[in-house]
Amino acid sequence: MNPLDTGRHMHDLISELFPECRSLSGNGVRRTLAVLKREIESLEVHEVPSGTCCFDWTVPDEWNVLNAFVIDPAGERILDFQQNNLHLLGYSLPFDGEIPLEELNEHLFSLPEQPDVIPYVTSYYSPRWGFCLAHSQRERLRPGMYRVKIDTEFSKGSLTYAEAFLPGEEEREILLSTYICHPSLANDNLSGPTLMAALWKWLATQRRRFSYRFVFVPETIGAIAYISRNFEALRRKTYAGYVLTCVGDERAVSFLPSRRGDALVDRVSRHVLRYAAPEYKEYSFLERGSDERQYCSPGVDLPVASIMRSKYGTYPEYHTSADNLEFVTPQGLAKSFDLYCRCLDLLEKNRVYQTTCCCEPQLGKRGLYPTLSMKGSAGDVRVYMNLLAYADGERDLVGIAEHIGVSAEELVPLVEKFLEHGLLRVCE
């Protein structure tokens, strides 16, 4: 399947999941995972009971919404959760009553600088109720009594997460993690889970040196709960990892390295991006914002990076109703899928090689001498000789590629040819 077909399928999946009201917990998350399970056969759902301690945090009560609306003095239903789930403040307390506009105003959230969009606002850990609306709508509200009804339920339930596993030849694992806690928002958030599904499908058909772990958690508390339950295994097995977020628009390509900044995943990502998306922008770990905050924290310290399109917090549509099905596109998603495939492929193929010959080997007698010599391409004999010259048992493939100024992707077929003829051996 070509990447654009994959991008189209991802966009369809985002459209299907878009209306669902997701949050840190609740049935919207479970329904989302049920749809993803159709895509990822080996997906397993786990529940962590409310009140469970996870390091310094406690799993909150489960939150579910039955209904929420506001009726104005003229009797018109002006804000309706059923019409757009962003209208309701995330983790809103229940409320039922009639209040004057002045009092209602204390519970309204809008963005004066972006008057036409509904902001996405949550209050997970400070109990309150509220509604979010376009500032232009807010300015039209007339004085008078407003009927407010918020039918939400807090219960001793659980936090839901899911994981899938694809075994490889080695026990070492590549960790792919994304979150599933935002309501009707496309780039941040649904682009991440749908890219996970696409990568699962692709990796399931590939020969895998590494094992792959796919994790779907509510952001922050879910990642902390997941790490607290799997700490030893994550520390022991994780070879490299990515947090998948904001991968659906076409405006930019962004890279956030791991906290260490020079882990293999950072070197591989930068190398791939330099050739496949030279316009990419690198951010600092100081500008982190998703679950790499947990995976990379001291004591956990996993090599986890993030390749994004427009990074969270940097685009005006972020956390508003404008982060919608038009903002993410099949093309934007396809490019992310392609970049991740290239990075995972290079992680698989990146090894340390050593030449088996003393002095330069004679390529001609093996039929390996390039018959077509073109300056600056892998057909250039210089590239053949440079690859062999730096295959010294110390540098890995990415290191050689960087040093000789050729993309590692171009070197892979040459390496395979040399291995076949016994001119190279794998050191690690």
Residue ranges that bind Zn ion, judged by CB under 5 A: 188
> In this structure, are strands 131-132 and 108-109 parallel, antiparallel, or unpaired?
parallel
Output the smallest distance, CB 364 to Zn ion, in A. Answer: 58
Nearer to Zn ion, 17 or 412 (CB): 17
Nearer to Zn ion, 90 or 168 (CB): 90
Output the smallest distance, CB 251 to Zn ion, in A. Answer: 17
5, two tokens: 């077909």
Output the smallest distance, CB 134 to Zn ion, in A. Answer: 19
Output the smallest distance, CB 123 to Zn ion, in A. Answer: 14
Output the smallest distance, CB 319 to Zn ion, in A. Answer: 6
Beta-strand (E) ranges in 31-122? Answer: 44-49, 53-54, 57-58, 62-71, 77-80, 95-100, 108-109
Compute the CA torsion angle 395, 401, 405, 411 (nearest 10 deg).
140
Output the smallest distance, CB 59 to Zn ion, in A. Answer: 20
Nearer to Zn ion, 89 or 414 (CB): 89
Output the smallest distance, CB 188 to Zn ion, in A. Answer: 4
Q: What are phi and psi of 13, to 5 degrees?
A: -65, -40
Nearer to Zn ion, 130 or 183 (CB): 183
Nearer to Zn ion, 188 or 249 (CB): 188
107, two tokens: 């519970």
Nearer to Zn ion, 20 or 188 (CB): 188
Output the smallest distance, CB 170 to Zn ion, in A. Answer: 34
CA gap 424, 23 in Å, rounded: 52
Task: Report CA-CA distances (Å) from 243 to 33, 195, 218, 303, 427.
Answer: 18, 11, 13, 11, 30
Compute the CA torsion angle 359, 362, 363, 367 (nearest 10 deg).
-160
Nearer to Zn ion, 188 or 317 (CB): 188
Give the position of tokens 């339920």: 153
Instruction: Provide CB contacts within 8 A for 110, sequence distance 6+.
Output: 119, 132, 133, 134, 135, 137, 138
Among 321, 317, 312, smallest CA distance to 132 is for: 321
Among 274, 203, 207, 185, smallest CA distance to 242 is for: 203
Among 141, 13, 11, 152, smallest CA distance to 74 is for: 141
Nearer to Zn ion, 188 or 292 (CB): 188
Instruction: Provide CB contacts within 8 A for 274, sequence distance 6+.
Output: 280, 407
73, two tokens: 């003095």
Q: Which residue's CB atom is positioned nearest to Zn ion?
A: 188
Output the smallest distance, CB 4 to Zn ion, in A. Answer: 27
Nearer to Zn ion, 110 or 191 (CB): 191
The b-or-e profile of 255-293 (16+ CB within 10 A means b, else e) is: bbbbbbeebbbbbbbbbbbeebbeebeebebeebbbbbb
